[in-house]
Amino acid sequence: MLDEEKITKAIVEEFMESFLDHTQIEAGLAGAGPANLVAAKKLAEEGVKTVVFERKLNVGGGMWGGGMMFPRIVVQKEATRILDDFGVNYHEHGEGYYVANSIESVGRLASETVKAGAEIYNLIKVEDVLIREKDRISGLVLNWSAVDRAGLHVDPLAVKTDVVIDGTGHDAEVCEIIEEKIPGADFSVKGEKPMWAEVGEKALMDTTKEIYPGLIVSGMAANAVSEAPRMGPIFGGMLLSGEKAAEIALSKL
Amino acid sequence: MLDEEKITKAIVEEFMESFLDHTQIEAGLAGAGPANLVAAKKLAEEGVKTVVFERKLNVGGGMWGGGMMFPRIVVQKEATRILDDFGVNYHEHGEGYYVANSIESVGRLASETVKAGAEIYNLIKVEDVLIREKDRISGLVLNWSAVDRAGLHVDPLAVKTDVVIDGTGHDAEVCEIIEEKIPGADFSVKGEKPMWAEVGEKALMDTTKEIYPGLIVSGMAANAVSEAPRMGPIFGGMLLSGEKAAEIALSKL
Amino acid sequence: MLDEEKITKAIVEEFMESFLDHTQIEAGLAGAGPANLVAAKKLAEEGVKTVVFERKLNVGGGMWGGGMMFPRIVVQKEATRILDDFGVNYHEHGEGYYVANSIESVGRLASETVKAGAEIYNLIKVEDVLIREKDRISGLVLNWSAVDRAGLHVDPLAVKTDVVIDGTGHDAEVCEIIEEKIPGADFSVKGEKPMWAEVGEKALMDTTKEIYPGLIVSGMAANAVSEAPRMGPIFGGMLLSGEKAAEIALSKL
Amino acid sequence: MLDEEKITKAIVEEFMESFLDHTQIEAGLAGAGPANLVAAKKLAEEGVKTVVFERKLNVGGGMWGGGMMFPRIVVQKEATRILDDFGVNYHEHGEGYYVANSIESVGRLASETVKAGAEIYNLIKVEDVLIREKDRISGLVLNWSAVDRAGLHVDPLAVKTDVVIDGTGHDAEVCEIIEEKIPGADFSVKGEKPMWAEVGEKALMDTTKEIYPGLIVSGMAANAVSEAPRMGPIFGGMLLSGEKAAEIALSKL
Amino acid sequence: MLDEEKITKAIVEEFMESFLDHTQIEAGLAGAGPANLVAAKKLAEEGVKTVVFERKLNVGGGMWGGGMMFPRIVVQKEATRILDDFGVNYHEHGEGYYVANSIESVGRLASETVKAGAEIYNLIKVEDVLIREKDRISGLVLNWSAVDRAGLHVDPLAVKTDVVIDGTGHDAEVCEIIEEKIPGADFSVKGEKPMWAEVGEKALMDTTKEIYPGLIVSGMAANAVSEAPRMGPIFGGMLLSGEKAAEIALSKL
Amino acid sequence: MLDEEKITKAIVEEFMESFLDHTQIEAGLAGAGPANLVAAKKLAEEGVKTVVFERKLNVGGGMWGGGMMFPRIVVQKEATRILDDFGVNYHEHGEGYYVANSIESVGRLASETVKAGAEIYNLIKVEDVLIREKDRISGLVLNWSAVDRAGLHVDPLAVKTDVVIDGTGHDAEVCEIIEEKIPGADFSVKGEKPMWAEVGEKALMDTTKEIYPGLIVSGMAANAVSEAPRMGPIFGGMLLSGEKAAEIALSKL
Amino acid sequence: MLDEEKITKAIVEEFMESFLDHTQIEAGLAGAGPANLVAAKKLAEEGVKTVVFERKLNVGGGMWGGGMMFPRIVVQKEATRILDDFGVNYHEHGEGYYVANSIESVGRLASETVKAGAEIYNLIKVEDVLIREKDRISGLVLNWSAVDRAGLHVDPLAVKTDVVIDGTGHDAEVCEIIEEKIPGADFSVKGEKPMWAEVGEKALMDTTKEIYPGLIVSGMAANAVSEAPRMGPIFGGMLLSGEKAAEIALSKL
Amino acid sequence: MLDEEKITKAIVEEFMESFLDHTQIEAGLAGAGPANLVAAKKLAEEGVKTVVFERKLNVGGGMWGGGMMFPRIVVQKEATRILDDFGVNYHEHGEGYYVANSIESVGRLASETVKAGAEIYNLIKVEDVLIREKDRISGLVLNWSAVDRAGLHVDPLAVKTDVVIDGTGHDAEVCEIIEEKIPGADFSVKGEKPMWAEVGEKALMDTTKEIYPGLIVSGMAANAVSEAPRMGPIFGGMLLSGEKAAEIALSKL
């Protein structure tokens, strides 16, 4: 016999056990877009205690809608090995342009990341950071995103983390918080430049970096902070940026 | 060199080829919640030309948020074989209660369905149906859901389909259209009864049925049409309902 | 040294311990207005495992604003003993009319109820009920009210309770759910009658009753279900209704 | 027998054929107000591959409402030859002031432009530009305007174009994008000056120009970028500005 | 020298002369969709004093967006003569399906109707009717639609008319007013049936009729009142309905 | 027999005759608050062709609500002669403080101004100005305020005026337009200072002045432009400011 | 020296003295439109203790905007004596049609009513009634209308009154309350019929009556309750209805 | 017999007596969060005439929701004596972390403050200040917060006060008003720094100070003005800040 009380307990206990086990983590990722999902999977595979915080109910960022609501994405050759790693199907459409189904892609990015051992907490917004001695980011201040959307005034809670990856897209939300609150931070979120797929994709390998002690930027957040171009519905650079962000994080831990 | 025009063409051509190939289908599923994703995968595996239409940007319905925003779901023993089939991890939490990560679950449901050969078109709303001689549903009338959300007045387009599965949750949107417009339809969407996990889960095996020629209901839409109880964040019945809906559809084709 | 992680753990652990300890309760009260706070205090004092669920961030219902935003309330003689019990100050203003500060009153109602051992969970909405064999209410289905206010689609969780007191004001929300979903329920929420302080206050002693197996109504919800008059900013009847609701509940446990 | 599937195919195939044929164009016009419609007709008549992108469902910009919702417009003598060219009726009302019906005028501007061979895509918003070597605008980044109005997050697509005409009115949207994103752009959208019909009309002949390599401004966008006066419901200058913008575009191709 | 005062006077005088000349008309058409524009042109050509009242800023109804935002419409063979009459281009796409550009089509419908001598007043909403002895509609009660959209409370004005054509689409707004306010009216706006192009198109020839003394319905309003099917983005029936509505009106004058 | 057509004609003809007679005026007042109503009455009594333009449906500005929704206003001794002039009742409440009913006051300000011969056009917004040679304001650009509130895009019309009085309250809307659009204007709308009844009231006699050729400020607009204090619900200064504004205007005509 | 504290005290004391003096009145009028202002003036002139409660900030109802935002109203011959009584100017426009300025008219209606001794409390909404033995309305339940508009939950206060006049326009708000809450009330607010100036104006003399013990209806509320026609911007009947309502009230006191 | 009129009088008279007695006070506190409630209680206990103005319907500020909607707060050892003083229960959770129920805490803070003799006026917003000679804050300008929320335009009233404590949280609303309006004020509301519980709690003892003659800041407003860190759901510093603010105020009186 199914018992609602037991269902309630199963869900609450499982979540709370997980949450209380993750108040001190090694890698805290803000945003569950393609870049951060790639980064989280790699980090988890390396045994890093990893949590992705996503303000929305669903993960996958801007990938769901493909281009102009046509649910297909394009990936270039050098990133197809990441699609392979996640088990996403694709085929070539014109030389050098590989097309995948945007919905399948998000599904695989999400599921393989969790399978690899990373936690994803959706509906949670990063609303502030912990900055400690030596001006290093050392934690994330969290709240239910529904609190904000419902116009409530409720205090947040904080978790500690050794390294943070800001993969919140062109808003670069964690960077924004630091830029606004820490006078000495020597970067600013000026936003991405006009679309230029070729240049934007390549730039990501340079813009994906540690821009503040303990804070790495990935995906469009990386280009937005460094004023590199946007790329449109081609996602190879995003995937590679996630991979690189994970490598940088690993080198810091 | 990446070329934006080629990216544009790749995406538009791929989508249009798919769309124009699916104006006459065998199974048209409204709603991409858990039940319909299970149904679509099974149908596609049987070689049925299958399309799932989802009004939201993302698929997965109410599964993302687990229970009360704690991202875990419960599944009972008899449905774990479907989790196995989709490759979703789970473990037992108290006897007979299996817990899975809600995000991983949606990811797998989405990706395996597409891999199996079903098409999922997101951002598309079913706003009407085609009813033909002998009072049989024979097509779906579609529009971009953004048209409605933006308050625009734009005509829809239609596709033909041999069978329809309404898996749009407790609103049972396709059923609602028929109830409102077809005087002779002998059912009504009265809504689900108060939560009763045990009864609701079992009821789904009976309520998942063809309720109008060519129209099968699945998941919460099935219980809503038959006034059976809701179940809360236990999803075994939903998955089995999808499976059964597919079996009924196969028997009609 | 204060440590944010420890603050986080202290709050989450304390709440979760409380919440998991209250998935099976004796008295579940919907709404934390004056009547239900009086009821909860009395029940807790009698050793009943009691939880009040309040959808708003704050408790106290309509008492805060006094009459027309002038923060004073009136209580008649027979209810001043309840003010005394809660430690609320008041003084006589014209024969038989006792005036208290509305803000102090809510403060005392809230704090003394918690002190007496009742739990109050704010920001939680009762969105459904559990009805079991013999048509008896046997649990409450809960969700964060922010989920609804934020327009999210997230499943609820349920707790079991031996008795429910609906003190949600003139909307009588729990009664509404039963009226709408249970065909055999022989009552309906028709709403309160025009204001008549004398009659409305007295009616409350009759309308506060068990109207469905396991479901007691208190405060304005009681008058709304029985079509008795509303009373305006005189609160004696509300306080006495809470007391009576508790007595009925005790007799059922 | 009419067949819905065939209607669907006819519309989708015709549009897609057109759209895919216009991913590389010669003249891309942002905004379908009076100036750009005049420009597009002239360009199309000269054999230039021309597309007008309009974010709204309808074209005609601010001309529909005449002055203060009285659907009449005024045109001065020198522009009546353009009305003649489009086949719009008018008559003299006081010396030198020619009055036309605003609705008829928009109708003719729209229909004759399409007839001349220009494509008009409505419901599409220019949300970014392509800038290439030598700082030249070389394409437009497009999205369904419903995506923005519905609050969705979906990637755009891009088309290449040899020359762009910004005729988006006083917001000068394409100019705004360049001003904001390209540091070296030596103009800014300061907005139009107070109304002065005489001066504003004449100014348009000077302000209609190439203000950035490959980018021409027309109509109120031209006066807004050059801080010339606005004119009110007199449209002669607008029409002549469109004509001039086309001439400049032709000289660049 | 252009003079703003003279522009103001030209516009106001021209409109007022027209408006005051049309407070007593022969044909008052509510809604400027395709059907009513065809009707108005025909009536004006026959010398009937005709005004079309349109609540929106633009005319053309649902035709602008083609099907699903792809700006093409389909017309069947028997209605191409009306496209010819208005000077709209089209070509055959598959046997019996003629495709036209939706934007050009609206442009021509609007401009040719005005040229033929009908007045179109946009931004004016029909908010009530005049009903006189013998239960006959004898006038329209008008207001600026901006009054309603701005939430203002301002009295309307009325014009008299011999006959009214309700072409306000599936809302059938004039019919709704009469249904709601005149107990004896023996029709009701039940809404259109599910899409069926073949049947809906043919039905229009029957449903376009005088349904109340002095009140003719056209276009989707006709099918909505008679519960005939909707048709989607095929417009032949709409155009023919307008023609028939005009013929009926002529027979009544 | 009353005839709706004649009522329509009476209203439209009367308004249009008035409006067309006022496209060239001597004094154009923006805002129908207390100061401008006093100014308009005085100007009209002196035979000046005067129009007050008010964006709201009603006139009287902030006077209706008295102080904190208690409908009484205070006027000091020196301004009671203006109350006398308008026929407003008042009585002394404590030495030097005269109290009047706020509703009666607005009623008299409105009616006596019209009786004196000034025109008041409500629901009309000043959205721009005419500036001519020698940098002098020489007209007002008008639109229905409902156009703005309804989110429509409709062109304005203009009237010429010899002098303008900006009495639009602390927003000083006409001043704002000039400050924003005319680089050489040597004033700015910095807003009023904190409340100081004594100083604010006296300041008004200095701040009420011509601040730009042809543009006089009155009432709170005067203090806002000169950064003088606000006064709260004491209206003597407002009334005297209106009187002074009229005197300045007369000296310019 | 002006002192803010004294201004505060003057306003609060004056209002409170008035308010506390009017908790027991003879005539309570809901709505301050033209009919009720006429009624209130007449009642006050007869020495009746009279209060008008108006939910809006301003009084005058729908008269401000004239017809279609043209600020003129029409009054027929028999009602000009009421305009005379209030001191409103008018002149004849075509035989039997007298035109007045709508703004002047409201101003006079408001100011003369207050001068006559009636109190008008604006910003106060009648949200309920007191019904006592013998089913007679005996009071009004009031709240600040801002409470409702701000979405707050605050209790109302009540005043007693011998007679009530509902002049709240076509919503007939007091009647609505009684219709909804008192089963035996033998009337219903079905709404006004289509516009018919002649019939509607005359009907008002019959529909202005006591429809429930102690409750008289006036103006459009009277026609709405009796399903008589609406009249448009002709106000003679409204004024006469107010006069008649006062006469009926006098006969009851 | 209960009489509604007497209830009305009791409430209005009691409030008005209180209000009129507090137009000249010694301490005016803006915001009824934890810090200001502590301050108000202490001031009242010292015999200071004290009023707290709170814009919301309820008091308690951000304390209700605990951390992330889990209704528990943490207080460190040194502040438990204030909890003791207010009679709030707590217990130790890990060394040095004391946990209290957030709802009980607010209840006690509110009720004990009123009991101590301070007045709390809820639903009242401080919208401006009085600044007098020698640049000293000498009063508060008040309005119903519902006026603002309802979008009404109504004048405020003012009360005089010897000292003001701004405890409006991180918005520091009174400070904001002075910063914006008084050029010489040498502070600015730059906002709080990232969360750092240890540093933020200690900083409060320094940042709680008189920052402008007569104006003291308390709680988060203090840290926001001095750019000290925020603390999250630990409230010891807030309570101590209130105590200190009271001490400073006492030293100024």
Mind listing the pLDDT tens digit for each residue in F54-83? 999 999 999 999 999 999 999 999 999 999
Residue E109 CB neighbour total at 10 angstroms: 31
Q: Burial letters for D64-78: b for 16+ Cβ neighbours within 10 Å, e otherwise? A: bbbbbbbbbbbbbee
Q: What CATH number is given to the structural domain containing E48?
A: 3.50.50.60
pLDDT-based confidence at residue B1 (cuts at 50, 70, 90): confident
> Which pLDDT score is estimated for D183?
83
- For residue B36, the SS3 value is helix
Arithmetic mean of pLDDT, E57-69: 97
CA distance H212 to chain C (A): 31
> Which pLDDT score is estimated for E240?
98
Distance CA D150, CA G242 (A): 49
Q: Domain containing F157: what range?
A: 4-252
Asked if residue E186 has pLDDT above 90, the reply is no
D91 burial (CB, 10 Å; 0-12 / 13-18 / 19+) is exposed
Distance CA H187, CA F237 (A): 33
> Which pLDDT score is estimated for H251?
98
CA distance B71 to chain C (A): 10
Distance CA F50, CA F44 (A): 6
Arithmetic mean of pLDDT, G74-97: 97
Tokens of F253: 């005509």
Structure letter (DSSP) for residue C126: E
Residues of E whose CB is below 8 A from D9: 94
Chains sharing 3 or more CB pairs under 8 A with chain C: A, B, G, H
E210 burial (CB, 10 Å; 0-12 / 13-18 / 19+) is middle
> Which pLDDT score is estimated for F55?
98
Q: Burial letters for B78-96: b for 16+ Cβ neighbours within 10 Å, e otherwise? A: ebbebbebbebebeebeee
Q: Which of F61, F191, F232 shows the shortest C-beta gap to H157?
A: F232
pLDDT tens digits for E28-40? 999 999 999 999 9
Which of E16, E125, E140, E154 should be substituted to probe chain G, the one whose Cβ sees the most G Cβ atoms within 10 Å?
Answer: E154
| pTM of the entire predicted model | 0.97
Distance CA C72, CA C99 (A): 7
Q: Is the ipTM of this complex over 0.90?
A: yes
> Do residues C183 and C210 touch, judged by C-beta distance below 8 A?
no
Is the alpha carbon torsion for F232, F235, F236, F239 positive or negative? positive
Distance CA D165, CA D145 (A): 19
Residues in chain A: 253
Q: Which of F4, F58, F201 shows the shortest C-beta gap to G2?
A: F201
Distance CA E134, CA G113 (A): 43
The residue ranking higher by pLDDT, D220 or G134, is: D220
| pLDDT tens, residue order, chain F (253 aa) | 899 999 999 999 999 999 999 999 999 999 999 999 999 999 999 999 999 999 999 999 999 999 999 999 999 999 999 999 999 999 999 899 999 999 999 999 999 999 999 999 999 999 999 999 778 999 999 999 999 999 999 999 999 999 999 999 999 999 999 999 998 888 999 999 999 999 999 999 999 999 999 999 999 999 999 999 999 999 999 999 999 999 999 999 9
Arithmetic mean of pLDDT, A217-226: 97
C1 burial (CB, 10 Å; 0-12 / 13-18 / 19+) is exposed
Which own/partner contact pairs does C17-20 have at CB distance under 8 Å and 24+ positions apart?
Answer: C18/C119, C19/A12, C19/C121, C20/A9, C20/A12, C20/A13
Looking at chain F, the whole-number percentage of residues with pLDDT higher than 90 is 96
Distance CA D130, CA D159 (A): 9
Is the Cβ pair B157, E67 closer than 8 Å?
yes
Asked if residue B223 has pLDDT above 80, the reply is yes
Looking at chain C, the whole-number percentage of residues with pLDDT higher than 70 is 100
CB proximity F66 to H under 8 Å: yes
Chains sharing 3 or more CB pairs under 8 A with chain D: A, B, E, F
Arithmetic mean of pLDDT, G91-107: 97
Q: Are there at least 3 beta-carbon pairs closer than 8 Å between G and B?
A: no
pLDDT tens digits for D139-162? 999 999 999 999 999 999 999 999
Q: Which helix (H) or strand (E) holds G91?
A: strand G91-92
Tokens of H34: 């934890």
Q: Which helix (H) or strand (E) holds C239?
A: helix C236-252
Structure letter (DSSP) for residue E6: H
Q: Which helix (H) or strand (E) holds E252?
A: helix E236-252
Residue H92 CB neighbour total at 10 angstroms: 12
Residue F66 phi/psi, 5° resolution?
Answer: 55, -130
Asked if residue A134 has pLDDT above 90, the reply is no
Looking at chain H, the whole-number percentage of residues with pLDDT higher than 70 is 100
Distance CA C16, CA A9 (A): 10
Residues in chain C where the model's pLDDT stays below 70 = none
Interface of D with E in 224-253 (CB under 8 A): 232-234
Arithmetic mean of pLDDT, B200-219: 97
What does DSSP say about strands G157-166 and G215-217: parallel, antiparallel, or unpaired? Answer: parallel
Q: Burial letters for C122-152: b for 16+ Cβ neighbours within 10 Å, e otherwise? A: bbbbbbbbbbbeeeebbbbbbbbbbbbbbeb
Q: To 5 degrees, how large is the angle CA C67–CA C68–CA C71?
A: 55
Arithmetic mean of pLDDT, D87-104: 97
> Which pLDDT score is estimated for E26?
98
> Which pLDDT score is estimated for D108?
98
pLDDT-based confidence at residue H1 (cuts at 50, 70, 90): confident
> Which pLDDT score is estimated for G48?
98
Q: Which helix (H) or strand (E) holds H81?
A: helix H80-86
CB proximity H12 to G under 8 Å: yes
CB proximity G65 to E under 8 Å: yes
CA distance E115 to chain D (A): 7
Q: Which helix (H) or strand (E) holds F120?
A: strand F119-122
Tokens of A170: 């062109």
Is the Cβ pair C19, A12 closer than 8 Å?
yes
Distance CA H91, CA H99 (A): 6
Alpha helices in G116-235 (DSSP H): 145-149, 173-181, 197-207, 219-225
Arithmetic mean of pLDDT, E192-207: 96
pLDDT tens digits for E123-153? 999 999 999 977 899 999 999 999 999 999 9
Distance CA E222, CA H246 (A): 75
Chains sharing 3 or more CB pairs under 8 A with chain H: A, C, F, G
> Which pLDDT score is estimated for A124?
98
Which of G141, G145, G154 should be substituted to probe chain C, the one whose Cβ sees the most C Cβ atoms within 10 Å?
Answer: G154
> Which pLDDT score is estimated for A87?
98
Per DSSP, what are the bridge partners of residue D114?
none
pLDDT tens digits for H145-201? 999 999 999 999 999 999 999 999 999 999 999 999 998 888 999 999 999 999 999
Distances (CA, A) of D224 to D67, D200, D217, H188: 20, 10, 9, 36
pLDDT-based confidence at residue H134 (cuts at 50, 70, 90): confident
Arithmetic mean of pLDDT, A38-42: 98
Looking at chain A, the whole-number percentage of residues with pLDDT higher than 90 is 96
Number of domains in chain D: 1
Asked if residue D201 has pLDDT above 90, the reply is yes
> Which pLDDT score is estimated for C183?
83
Asked if residue A211 has pLDDT above 80, the reply is yes
What are the helix and strand counts (H, E) for chain E?
9, 11
> Which pLDDT score is estimated for H93?
96
pLDDT tens digits for E96-106? 999 999 999 99
> Which pLDDT score is estimated for F1?
81
D1 burial (CB, 10 Å; 0-12 / 13-18 / 19+) is exposed
Asked if residue A133 has pLDDT above 80, the reply is no
Distance CA D118, CA C205 (A): 79
**Mutual orientation of helices E236-252 and E197-207 as an angle, nearest 10°?**
10
Is the alpha carbon torsion for F65, F67, F71, F74 positive or negative? negative
Q: Are there at least 3 beta-carbon pairs closer than 8 Å between F and B?
A: no
Alpha helices in A136-226 (DSSP H): 145-149, 173-181, 197-207, 219-225
pLDDT-based confidence at residue G1 (cuts at 50, 70, 90): confident
